[in-house]
A and B are shown apart, each in its own frame.
Chain A
């Protein structure tokens, strides 16, 4: 008898389970917006990629100033974020999107994801970062460089390669691991670096040479850096596609305090990534969304960016913490390609790349 009761209880639970799930969303919302008792009492939703992090206290200062509560939603990696936003264009998941970079920018613009907004703080942002300066459908928030990193112990001073060309030389045979451009954002950035450097007709030959020289291609950053590169203790490659800021992270998150990073950056291999925020078409909270974009460009937010996301703030007035600037390499002349060219050729390039590397 007891057991049949138990079964009945399970059935009941199932019924409760599904009904509470339906109300869960509302309950959650009231609890988060309940915090802001100030003038406006609004909640703005910010959708971003999984690598976004911000100190909760920074959000609180924004709420105190404006009365707006920010609800952060993580939408997967940068590629997933853009795809999802295009799919849900008619009924967006959020009011503001942050994390679309210059390699995906044109795709977002072509799909009319964003509405124009010119933030007053843009005056403090260098012109080179403002890729949609005419219409301001997106606002640059941060930038960073994807560069080839090397393990210093394996390639001491003077022995490390200097350029993209060097990577294809026999001296560095089978020492380089990069990522598949179709599955990894730094992998795509590295492909763009080679296209930018060797030109639209020259990069294919370079990749053929890389292949002959034994380049390793992994799926994502994690398995390249920790699986193949020397950093994880598993791999044996001395060169990896990563970020200009990776040495800073190596120091900051080191087991024992380090004075010097174990990795270095090849300055001439860097492709610049700029990350933007945009107000999503279809939002009913345009004004609050604009305030959020302003805040993301303001100093309190911008100065947190380096140690939270390991990229540089777009606002040139923001102070950069010493832990970051001491070890992250700043690249003066990165390789670039304009978003329109990238979008127009993306599928063709990755297709050609596939044929060269996997055939």
Chain B
């Protein structure tokens, strides 16, 4: 009797394992299929077209160019500085907004996302105005680049690390306090240690993002050259596809190595732990805390709010006065665009909705596959982060030579697809640390108690990762609304004019009216993302449930 039941249980366990394996295979295949279609196939196609006649000596000759070595060096230097600066400014913001209760706290965190959506052309204007505001003349180009990258990517830190921070259970900290650890020691040895996976994920995203940054380098770098701008220069100004192809391949290899190292690191530092989804904020009690919170607020004001305010000011300027005329004109037909700027905004929102759903869905499947051990999962994780670091020119041109069937390459639907490709790593970066820190005993206990896999997902996994998924989805939406990456190098049907394109078009002709509308449209775009971000934060604070 006894042996029978244990055999039964063994069989049950075996069934579960088989089922897990099967699910794992399905998840891996779906993710891989998505990446194969949207990333690998176009890139492979492009490289076979452009690099067909390249010999080893060509490679040697290209790599020996001092201009290229200089560009590679600057690529890494600016990306490293940008990452460090964004972390240095973003971490205290993440800390303050998750640990302290004060007026405007949610708004403070929400607003950091806003610059993410601003088209680089306009972001550059904001940064320049900020330098003017503080009376800084003749800015060092590297400093300007780093400042712009911090402005645009500080949200990655505040959202990914902040969201993770909120789930650290206060009991740990309280225990440490009880045992006599000083606040500094508690912060360094406990909090920071536990936060490592989220910090690493944020750092990876910012580093790759800065590596392939294009508009910022061009507009603020005073003719500085990075790998990405060199690829553009060879492909466009010189129509030297061979050299451009070699550089793009070099970039892919470098990014893949980086992403692989990051994936390994992630695995090493992720530890399951006690988690909470309750709010663990404390009131500001001491003067010390008050000064600290105030200092952090000032840093956000300087890096995010002042640049944004400069744009708002420009959008409100009507001739010599201030008014709402530019905003009213958004709903009026425009001489230049054939449609109203509002139409382009609606189109952008539609594409963003599609891209966000697709990115979040694929990311959900991807992280389910990646969280397992083994080399397949590690390679998949590397691939998932690859889109962030692949040259936009290369990928856009890859689409051009690949999606020729039924002219899909210039159909409006290729846009959400290419946006989703960029959204995928952002959602994954937010969700993975959260997923990995779920205590497995929690899942085992649930299984032993007879919970079905769907029940486990809905009652344990989802509540503990929901916040991270929402943060990631917000980034995916912002990326789509701001149209970075390959999409900017695709050809567009005239009927799919989106808001960022309209902003560029309106800025490409002299005239105050056009300029005013471009600014008003940018601010509206930013306001939409700010609002979305605020609502998401509020929804989170409304939830109270605790899991140990």
Query: Which bucket holds chain B's interface residue count?
Result: 35 or more
Contact A22 B408 (CB under 8 A): yes
A255/B493 contact (C-beta < 8 A), A18-B34, A20-B413, A50-B504 known: no
A249/B457 contact (C-beta < 8 A), A13-B357, A13-B361, A53-B337 known: no
Q: Indicate if A287 sits at the interface (CB-CB under 8 A).
A: no
Residue of B462, B488, B501, B510 contacting most chain A CB atoms (<10 Å): B510
Binds B, one of A76-84, A120-128, A195-203, A329-337: A76-84
Q: Indicate if A157 sits at the interface (CB-CB under 8 A).
A: no
Contact A10 B491 (CB under 8 A): no
Subset of 29 A-B contacts with CB under 8 Å: A13-B361, A17-B361, A17-B420, A18-B417, A25-B413, A53-B336, A71-B494, A76-B488, A79-B237, A80-B489, A87-B49, A87-B400, A87-B401, A93-B491, A180-B223, A220-B219, A221-B508, A223-B121, A226-B507, A227-B128, A234-B125, A246-B510, A249-B510, A252-B511, A255-B318, A255-B319, A255-B512, A307-B335, A308-B336
Contact A73 B492 (CB under 8 A): yes
Mark out the residues of chain B between 163 and 217 whose CB falls within 8 Å of any chain A CB in the assembled complex: none
Q: How many A-B residue pairs have CB under 8 A?
A: 201
Q: Indicate if A156 sits at the interface (CB-CB under 8 A).
A: no
B433 CB to nearest chain A CB (Å): 19
Q: Indicate if B340 sits at the interface (CB-CB under 8 A).
A: no
Mark out the residues of chain A between 215 and 249 whose CB falls within 8 Å of any chain B CB in the assembled complex: 217, 219-223, 225-227, 231-234, 242, 246-247, 249
Cβ-neighbour of B501 out of A26, A50, A180, A310 (below 8 A): A50
Q: How many angstroms between the C-alpha atoms of A47 and B488 in the bound complex?
A: 16
A-side contacts of B445, CB under 8 Å: none
Residue of B nearest to A263 (CB): B510
A253/B494 contact (C-beta < 8 A), A7-B364, A7-B457 known: no
Cβ-neighbour of B358 out of A13, A182, A220, A242 (below 8 A): A13
Q: How many angstroms between the C-alpha atoms of A263 and B405 in the bound complex?
A: 48
Q: Indicate if A153 sits at the interface (CB-CB under 8 A).
A: no
A74/B511 contact (C-beta < 8 A), A56-B338, A226-B125 known: no
B-side contacts of A26, CB under 8 Å: 406
Contact B489 A250 (CB under 8 A): no
Q: Indicate if A75 sits at the interface (CB-CB under 8 A).
A: yes
Residue of B nearest to A76 (CB): B489
Q: Indicate if A254 sits at the interface (CB-CB under 8 A).
A: yes
B407 CB to nearest chain A CB (Å): 6
Q: Indicate if A65 sits at the interface (CB-CB under 8 A).
A: no
Using a CB–CB cutoff of 8 Å, the interface residues on chain A facing chain B are 1-4, 7, 10-11, 13-14, 17-18, 20-22, 24-26, 28-29, 32, 45, 47, 50-51, 53-56, 71-76, 79-80, 82-84, 86-88, 91, 93, 107, 180, 182-183, 217, 219-223, 225-227, 231-234, 242, 246-247, 249-250, 252-256, 263, 307-308, 310, 347, 350, 358
Q: How many angstroms between the C-alpha atoms of A242 and B413 in the bound complex?
A: 36
Q: How many angstroms between the C-alpha atoms of A170 and B30 in the bound complex?
A: 66
B interface majority secondary structure: helix
B451 CB to nearest chain A CB (Å): 11
Contact A14 B410 (CB under 8 A): no
B50 CB to nearest chain A CB (Å): 8
Q: How many angstroms between the C-alpha atoms of A222 and B485 in the bound complex?
A: 20
A-side contacts of B237, CB under 8 Å: 79, 182-183, 350
Cβ-neighbour of A242 out of B218, B493, B510 (below 8 A): B510
Q: Indicate if B454 sits at the interface (CB-CB under 8 A).
A: yes
B-side contacts of A74, CB under 8 Å: 491-492, 494, 501
Residue of A nearest to B336 (CB): A53
Cβ-neighbour of A28 out of B30, B132, B354, B493 (below 8 A): B493
Binds A, one of B12-20, B109-117, B513-521: B513-521
Contact A4 B455 (CB under 8 A): yes
A-side contacts of B336, CB under 8 Å: 53, 308
A-side contacts of B406, CB under 8 Å: 25-26, 29
Q: How many angstroms between the C-alpha atoms of A13 and B420 in the bound complex?
A: 13
Using a CB–CB cutoff of 8 Å, the interface residues on chain B facing chain A are 30, 34, 37, 49, 121, 124-125, 128-129, 132, 218-219, 222-223, 233, 235-239, 241, 314, 317-319, 325, 335-338, 354, 357-358, 360-362, 364-365, 397, 400-401, 404-414, 416-417, 420, 454-455, 457-458, 462, 488-489, 491-495, 501, 504-505, 507-516
* Ranked 5 nearest A-B pairs via Cβ: A253-B511, A24-B413, A14-B361, A25-B411, A72-B494
A80/B413 contact (C-beta < 8 A), A87-B397, A87-B401 known: no
Q: How many angstroms between the C-alpha atoms of A13 and B512 in the bound complex?
A: 44
Residue of B nearest to A253 (CB): B511
Known interface pairs A72-B493, A183-B218; 18 further A-B residue pairs with C-beta atoms within 8 A, sorted by A's residue number: A4-B458, A4-B462, A17-B357, A53-B337, A73-B410, A74-B492, A74-B494, A79-B236, A80-B489, A180-B223, A182-B233, A222-B504, A223-B219, A226-B507, A249-B511, A252-B335, A253-B510, A263-B510
